[in-house]
Amino acid sequence: MFQEAQGIPNLPDLTQPSQLVELGQSALWGLVLLVLLLSVLGIAIAVFNFSLRSDLTTQRQWLEQETRWYGFALRALPHLSLVLVLLVFGFLGCSTLSKRYHFWEQAKVAQVAQSVAGERMEQASPRFYYVTQEPYTYTTFVNGNLVTVEDTHEIDRSLPLTGSQIQVTLEQEEDVQKTGQTLYLVDFVGEFQVKNTLDEAQEFIWQVNPPSDYKLLQNFRVERAGNPLSPKVSQPYHFPVSLEAGEETQFRVSYKAQGAPRWVYTAYGELLSNFELAIAAQFPNADFASGIKPTETVVSGNRTRYTWTFTENVSVQNPFGVFTSTPALKNTGVLPRLLLLAPAVFLWWVLLLYLSLPMTFSNIALIGGLFYAHLLALTYLSRSLPPLPSWLALSVFLLALTWGLGRKTQTVTAALVCTVTGVILPILGLLVPYTGLTLALAGLGSATWLAVHHWYMDGNLTISARK
* CB neighbourhood size of 308 (10 A): 22
Report how far apart the first and last C-alpha atoms of the chain are (Å, whole number). Answer: 80
Q: What pLDDT, on a 0 to 100 scale, did the predictor assign at position 359? A: 81
Q: What pLDDT, on a 0 to 100 scale, did the predictor assign at position 25? A: 65
Q: What pLDDT, on a 0 to 100 scale, did the predictor assign at position 65? A: 63
Helix (H, G, I), strand (E, B) or coil at 92: helix
Cα 53 from Cα 32, distance rounded (Å): 32
Q: What pLDDT, on a 0 to 100 scale, did the predictor assign at position 139? A: 79
Cα 97 from Cα 209, distance rounded (Å): 53
Question: pLDDT tens per residue, the chain (467 residues)?
Answer: 344 445 555 666 656 656 555 666 666 676 777 677 767 766 766 665 666 555 556 556 555 565 555 555 556 577 777 888 888 888 888 888 888 887 777 777 666 666 555 578 899 999 998 888 777 777 777 777 777 777 777 788 888 888 999 999 999 888 777 766 788 899 999 999 999 888 888 889 999 989 988 889 999 999 998 889 888 877 888 999 888 888 899 999 999 999 888 899 988 878 788 899 999 999 888 888 877 889 899 988 888 999 999 887 777 877 888 888 766 666 677 888 888 888 889 999 988 888 888 888 888 888 888 999 999 899 888 888 888 889 999 999 998 888 877 666 678 888 888 889 989 999 988 888 888 888 888 888 888 888 888 787 755 544 343 34
Element (H, E) at 74: helix 56-115
Cα 284 from Cα 17, distance rounded (Å): 45
Q: What pLDDT, on a 0 to 100 scale, did the predictor assign at position 169? A: 93
Domain boundaries, the chain: 52-114+331-458, 121-324
pTM over 0.85: no
**Contact, 122 vs 213, CB < 8 A?**
yes
- At the top level of CATH, which class does the domain 121-324 belong to? mainly beta
Give the orientation angle of helix 361-381 with respect to helix 334-356, to 10 degrees.
160
Total length of the chain: 467
Cα 24 from Cα 28, distance rounded (Å): 6
**Contact, 305 vs 170, CB < 8 A?**
no
**Contact, 170 vs 280, CB < 8 A?**
yes
* CB neighbourhood size of 22 (10 A): 12
Considering Cα of 170, then 172, then 175, then 180, what sign does the dihedral take?
Answer: positive
